[in-house]
């Protein structure tokens, strides 16, 4: 039986409201932290839990918190990155929409650990209704004495502000997010200095994903060791996976890390198998920016070991035969899907979302989109496939922020694993154009409603 | 003082210097090209990625190499750091890639561009680019906007180095232009079509590495290599008054700031000096401006040019049998 830490009470009627949330044991982590633990003890618990950043990079959270500079007389900030815009990822929205107090609770506990008296939730602009839900939750928390001055008589003051983004994917990059939060153009900063030293308004700042902050609640409640018991190896705890694509049961699932991928796709407790009983073709395992893997490599590693839903197992084999857990946007494609079409959609997205600050990403993403468009239009040549490969290799690693890498990896992996499909498309464009991409989406939409 | 080795040459630099500063201290043979960095503008650099270098040894304390190529202009040099620039195949490939990216949407209108001859992108593509283009896609274009009667903005040529924005931020009081939009549609613009008009706005022209910002009073008057640069100065209440006059015959066609070896203005000048003083009588002439022998601008103008050995028929020797 899979344990649930974040979504334990998600189906409870009225869990969005403070009273119901509190009656289910909500805010107990704040209570415990404020009354019985010192801030450093909370940080220690998080370190012990092995919790890793859930936003995509998987950096150990405790270590990140440990890096936070603590100069005298300078305020520190906690910023919650709720600018969830990765295609295929929709876990944070679900969490904030259905159990907003979990995030607020995590924010207070985390802020206490970091010594931050002010924290911000930077919400993606398109989630306008989520902003209202969060603000209502924050208001309730203020009313009940969980926010504001002297929380529950502990002497700890804390304020949370919700800041809406303006709809740019790049503002999910932590330094671009900080720029945007400061009211500037959302361009990523050049690092170093890292936010832990010089972040929001030039002060030490920790930027964490929604899910990471929410996970802090159960770590404080049950102890880091109990959290570390769940999962495998260095992938501890539970993870929210947003499953979409050609599956019978798309949605957000909380899984224990270490669940076999095969079980996740085919078990009725999760995705419930491939739509219409078709064969699995490929999976993008962690949101659009991670490498796509063909069926045989996603179910089993190159050595024939079963592939697990964990940071290490998914990354097994490097980028040659592996991928990344990323932010948990699990996109499944059946045999009828066209990898070339899919790649075009991804690349178009990155072209549209590139901030334009550094040249490889600004020009390279547009170039890749144009080449793919040319192939889709039926005018591609074999040289174009090589050119596409070359362009992505010139972008990867040469940009200011990871958006360049995120744009290059899907292209590299699609060509690496599905080169035959590109060649097929170049040779017989008419044959493939008949599989209309938009019909495809339409069929999918009507099948799932 | 820190010791840094770049391409096998060791140099001593003060703490806190960047790799680029160290490389420039050694000289042009190891200094990476820069398109967006400008030493006199704070926070400039890091955008164009032409100065990417490979760090093969992080420092004396932590000798691990850096996994990624790093921008020399924004990376602090550490004691004992070993950097490879021109000698690294990885750097050369990345730089060729960046050059290609910069040219991907840049119009090849050099024959009608006023910047030709003193364009950093021309130099970059000559030194690091490919001889052949790999794209025939239509280049992106912008609607032309008017930013005043002194400066001409040709956005299609812009490579978004942000230098002109930093000039406006750091040199003048009220910045009225900036970068609008995103990605390859990002453009330098005044938000509500406004003229950029202040005493030092003309420096935008000097810092622009390409022909995106050009001098309207000089437009289409002459190719730069047909003009003769002279150092001159005048007493100016706003600026240092140290300029270069660009002559054609007896006429001063344009006035610019004095640029150093790296193509960067030594002292910024005011608009009065730049646009309004175009008579020889306004100026005290110091003498001919020294221009690098490798620049096209120096062509046929300097006595410094070394006359090649005369070639005679006697030099031809029969091939050994």
Return the pLDDT at B305: 46
Tens-digit pLDDT profile for residues B108-139: 999 999 999 999 999 999 999 988 889 889 99
User: Where, residue-wise, is CATH 3.40.50.11540 in chain A?
Assistant: 18-229
| Segments of chain A scoring below 70 in pLDDT | 1, 433-449
Contact (Cβ atoms closer than 8 angstroms) between residue A214 and residue A121: no
Q: B2-95 and B107-132+144-215: same fold?
A: no
Q: How far is CA A212 from CA A57, A207, A312, in A?
A: 12, 10, 18
Contact (Cβ atoms closer than 8 angstroms) between residue A371 and residue A386: no
d(CA B164, CA B36): 10
Return the pLDDT at A447: 64
- Is domain B2-95 given the CATH code 3.10.20.740 in the classification? yes
Binned at pLDDT 50, 70 and 90, residue B194 comes out as: confident
Tell me how long chain B is. 321
Contact (Cβ atoms closer than 8 angstroms) between residue B121 and residue B209: yes
Q: Chain A: which residues have CB within 8 Å of chain B?
A: 168, 170, 185, 190, 351-360, 362-367, 370, 387, 393-395, 397-400
Where residue A365 falls (left for φ over 0; alpha for ψ -120 to 50; beta otherwise) is alpha
Q: Which fold has domain B107-132+144-215?
A: Alpha-Beta Plaits (3.30.70)
d(CA A268, CA A4): 17
d(CA A15, CA B217): 69
Helix (H) or strand (E) holding B229: strand B228-233
Q: How many CB pairs under 8 A join A and B?
A: 92
| Segments making up each domain of chain B, as ranges | 2-95, 107-132+144-215, 224-298
Q: Locate tokens 């005011």: which residue?
A: B270
Arch. (CATH architecture) of A232-334 = Roll (3.10)
pLDDT of residue B227 exceeding 70:
yes
Q: Kindly report which listed range (A214-218, B204-208, B311-315) carries the lowest average pLDDT score.
A: B311-315
Chain B nearest-CA residue for A383:
B134
Which of A359, A367, A387, A407 to mutate: most B Cβ within 10 Å?
A359
Yes or no, beta carbons of B102 and A190 under 8 Å apart: no
In chain A, what residues touch B49 (CB-CB under 8 Å)? 358-360, 398-399
For B273, phi then psi, to 5°, come to -60, -40
Chain A nearest-CA residue for B133:
A387
Return the pLDDT at B192: 72
Enter the tokens of residue A89: 């990822």
Yes or no, beta carbons of A367 and B104 under 8 Å apart: yes
Yes or no, beta carbons of B184 and A400 under 8 Å apart: no
Return the pLDDT at A440: 61
Q: Locate tokens 């903005």: which residue?
A: B153
Q: Span A339-448: which CATH code?
A: 1.20.1440.230
Using CB atoms, which residue from B100, B137, B183 is nearest to A362?
B183
Return the pLDDT at A429: 85
Distance from the A403 Cα atom to the nearest Cα atom in chain B, whole angstroms: 12
Closest CA to A239 of A282, A168, A206, A287: A287
Largest CA distance in chain A: 73
d(CA B184, CA B295): 31
Binned at pLDDT 50, 70 and 90, residue B175 comes out as: confident
Here the ipTM equals 0.90
Yes or no, beta carbons of B137 and A355 under 8 Å apart: no
Tell whether B68 is within 8 A of chain A (Cβ): yes
How many other CB atoms are there within 10 angstroms of residue B127's CB atom?
Answer: 11
Helix (H) or strand (E) holding B189: strand B187-190
Contact (Cβ atoms closer than 8 angstroms) between residue A210 and residue A53: no
Q: How far is CA B157 from CA A430, B17, B21, B211, B263, in A?
A: 38, 32, 28, 6, 19
Closest CA to B167 of B142, B199, B195, B214: B199
Q: What is the 3-state secondary structure (H, E, C) of B24-85?
A: HHHCCCCCCCCCCCCCCCCCCCCCCCCCEEEEEECCCCCCCCCCCCEEHHHCECCCCEEEEC
d(CA A283, CA A301): 13
Tens-digit pLDDT profile for residues B277-308: 999 999 999 988 887 767 777 765 655 545 55
Return the pLDDT at A439: 62
Please give the radius of gyration of chain A, using alpha carbons only, rounded to the nearest integer: 22
Whole-number percent of chain B with pLDDT over 70: 92
Closest CA to A214 of A93, A369, A392, A302: A93
Closest CA to B45 of B71, B69, B6: B71
b/e per residue A338-347 (b: at least 16 CB within 10 A):
bbbbbbbebb
Closest CA to A255 of A325, A205, A161, A157: A325
**Which residues have CB under 8 Å from A258's CB, separation 6+?**
A231, A232, A233, A235, A308, A309, A310, A313
pLDDT of residue B313 exceeding 70:
no
Tens-digit pLDDT profile for residues A88-129: 999 999 999 999 999 999 999 999 999 999 999 999 999 999
Mean pLDDT of chain B: 89
Let me know if A166 is exposed, middle or buried by CB neighbors in 10 A (0-12, 13-18, 19+): exposed
Distance from the A190 Cα atom to the nearest Cα atom in chain B, whole angstroms: 7
Distance from the B104 Cα atom to the nearest Cα atom in chain A, whole angstroms: 7
Return the pLDDT at B287: 86
Yes or no, beta carbons of A359 and B47 under 8 Å apart: yes
- Cis bond upstream, residue A192 (ω within 30): yes
Return the pLDDT at B198: 87
Using CB atoms, which residue from A190, A387, A398 is nearest to B69?
A398
Binned at pLDDT 50, 70 and 90, residue B272 comes out as: very high
Dihedral in degrees, nearest 10, Cα atoms B42, B47, B51, B53: 110
* Sign (positive or negative) of CA dihedral A326, A330, A336, A342: negative
Q: What is the 3-state secondary structure (H, E, C) of chain A?
A: CCCCCCCCCCCCCCCCCHHHHHHCCCCHHHHHHHHHCCHHHHHHHHHHHCCECCCCCCCEHHHHHHHCCCCCCCCCEEEEEECCCCCCCCHHHHHHHHCHHHHHHHHHHHHHHHCCCEEEEEECCCCHHHHHHHHHHHHHHHHCCCCECCHHHCCCCEEEEEEECCCCHHHHCHHHHHHHHCCCCCCCCCCCCCCCCCCHHHCCEEEEEHHHHHHHHHHHHHCHHHHHHCEECCEECEEEEEEEECECCCEEEEEECCEEHHHHHHCCCCCCCEHHHCCEEEEECCCCCCCEEEHHHHHECCCCCECEECHHHHHCCHHHHCCCCCCCEEEEEECCCCHHHHHHHHHHHHHHHCCCCCHHHHHHHHHHHHHHHHHHCCCCCHHHHHHHHHHHHHHCCCCCCCHHHHHHHHHHHHHHHHHHHHHHHHHCHHHHHCCCHHHHHHHHHHHHC
Yes or no, beta carbons of B49 and A360 under 8 Å apart: yes
Chain B nearest-CA residue for A350:
B183
Q: Supply angle C-alpha A86, A92, A96, rounded to 5.
A: 145
Contact (Cβ atoms closer than 8 angstroms) between residue A284 and residue A329: yes
**Which residues have CB under 8 Å from A11's CB, separation 6+?**
none
Contact (Cβ atoms closer than 8 angstroms) between residue B162 and residue B211: no
β-pair type (B242-248, B228-233): antiparallel
Q: Which fold has domain A18-229?
A: Rossmann fold (3.40.50)
Task: Concatenate the DSSP letters of all residues of B274-305 into one string.
Answer: III--SGGGSEEEEEPP--TTSGGGTTT-TTS
Whole-number percent of chain B with pLDDT over 90: 74
Tell whether B179 is within 8 A of chain A (Cβ): yes
- Cis bond upstream, residue A146 (ω within 30): no
In chain B, what residues touch A353 (CB-CB under 8 Å)? 182-183
């Amino acid at each position: 039986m899979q344990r649930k830490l974040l979504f334990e009470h998600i189906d409870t009627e009225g869990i969005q409201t403070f009273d119901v949330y509190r009656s289910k044991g909500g805010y107990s982590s704040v209570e415990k932290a404020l009354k019985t633990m010192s801030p450093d003890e909370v940080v220690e618990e998080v370190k012990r839990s092995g919790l890793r950043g859930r936003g995509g990079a998987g950096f150990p959270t405790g270590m990140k918190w440990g890096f936070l500079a603590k100069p005298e007389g300078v305020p520190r900030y906690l910023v919650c990155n709720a600018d969830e815009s990765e295609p295929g990822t929709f876990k944070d929205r679900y969490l904030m929409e259905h159990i907003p107090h979990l995030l607020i609770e995590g924010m207070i506990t985390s802020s206490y650990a970091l010594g931050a008296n002010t924290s911000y939730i930077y919400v993606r602009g398109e989630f306008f209704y989520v902003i209202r839900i969060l603000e209502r939750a924050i208001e309730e928390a203020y009313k009940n004495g969980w926010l504001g001055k002297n929380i529950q008589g502990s002497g700890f003051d804390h304020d949370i502000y919700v800041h809406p983004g303006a709809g740019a994917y790049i503002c999910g990059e932590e330094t671009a997010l900080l720029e945007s939060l400061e009211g500037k153009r959302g361009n990523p900063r050049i690092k170093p200095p890292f936010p832990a030293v010089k972040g929001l308004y030039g002060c030490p700042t920790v930027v964490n994903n929604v899910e990471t902050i929410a996970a802090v609640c159960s770590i404080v409640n049950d102890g880091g060791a109990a959290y570390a018991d769940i999962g495998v190896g260095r992938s501890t705890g539970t993870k929210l996976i947003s499953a979409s694509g050609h599956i019978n049961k798309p949605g957000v699932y909380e899984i224990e890390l270490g669940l076999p991928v095969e079980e996740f796709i085919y078990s009725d407790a999760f995705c419930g198998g491939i739509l219409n009983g078709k064969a699995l073709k490929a999976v993008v395992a962690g949101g659009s920016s991670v490498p796509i893997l063909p069926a045989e490599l996603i179910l089993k590693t190159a050595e024939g070991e079963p592939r697990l839903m964990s940071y290490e197992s998914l990354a097994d084999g490097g980028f040659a035969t592996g991928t990344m857990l990323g932010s948990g946007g699990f996109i499944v494609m059946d045999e009828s899907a066209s990898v070339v079409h899919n790649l075009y959609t991804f690349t178009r997205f990155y072209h549209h979302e590139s901030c334009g600050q550094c040249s490889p990403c600004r020009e390279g993403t547009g170039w890749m989109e144009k080449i793919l468009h040319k192939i889709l239009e039926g005018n591609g040549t074999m040289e174009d496939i090589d050119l596409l490969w070359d362009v992505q290799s010139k972008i990867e690693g040469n940009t200011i922020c990871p958006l360049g890498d995120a744009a290059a990896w899907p292209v590299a992996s699609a060509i690496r694993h599905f080169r035959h499909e590109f060649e097929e498309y170049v040779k017989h464009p008419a044959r493939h154009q008949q599989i209309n991409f938009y019909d495809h989406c339409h069929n999918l939409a009507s099948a799932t409603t | 003082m820190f010791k840094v080795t770049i391409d096998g040459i060791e140099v001593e630099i003060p703490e806190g210097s960047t790799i680029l500063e160290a490389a420039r201290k050694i000289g042009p043979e190891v200094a990476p090209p820069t398109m967006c960095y400008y030493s006199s503008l704070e926070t400039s650099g890091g955008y164009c990625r032409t100065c990417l270098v490979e760090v093969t040894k992080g420092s004396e304390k932590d000798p691990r190499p850096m996994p990624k190529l790093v921008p020399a202009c924004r990376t602090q040099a550490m004691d004992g750091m070993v950097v490879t620039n021109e000698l690294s195949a990885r750097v050369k490939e990345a730089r060729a890639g960046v050059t290609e990216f910069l040219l991907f949407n840049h119009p090849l209108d050099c024959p009608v561009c006023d910047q030709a001859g003193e364009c950093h992108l021309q130099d970059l593509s000559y030194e690091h680019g490919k001889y052949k283009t790999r794209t025939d896609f239509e280049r992106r274009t912008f609607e032309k906007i008017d930013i005043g009667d002194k400066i001409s903005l040709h956005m299609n040529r812009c490579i978004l180095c942000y230098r002109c924005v930093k000039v406006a931020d750091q040199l003048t009081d009220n910045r009225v232009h900036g970068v609008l939009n995103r990605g390859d549609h990002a453009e330098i613009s005044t938000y509500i079509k406004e003229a950029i008009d202040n005493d030092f706005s003309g420096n935008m022209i000097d810092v622009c590495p390409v022909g995106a910002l050009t001098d309207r009073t000089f437009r289409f008057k002459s190719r730069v290599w047909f003009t003769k640069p002279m150092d001159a100065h005048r007493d100016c209440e706003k600026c240092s008054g140290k300029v270069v006059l660009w002559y054609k015959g007896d006429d001063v066609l344009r006035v610019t700031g004095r640029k150093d070896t790296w193509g960067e203005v030594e002292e910024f000048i005011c608009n009065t000096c730049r646009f309004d003083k175009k008579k020889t009588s306004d100026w005290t002439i110091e003498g001919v401006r020294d221009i690098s022998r490798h620049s096209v601008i120096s062509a046929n103008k300097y006595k410094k040019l070394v006359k090649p050995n005369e070639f005679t028929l006697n030099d031809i020797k029969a091939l050994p049998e």
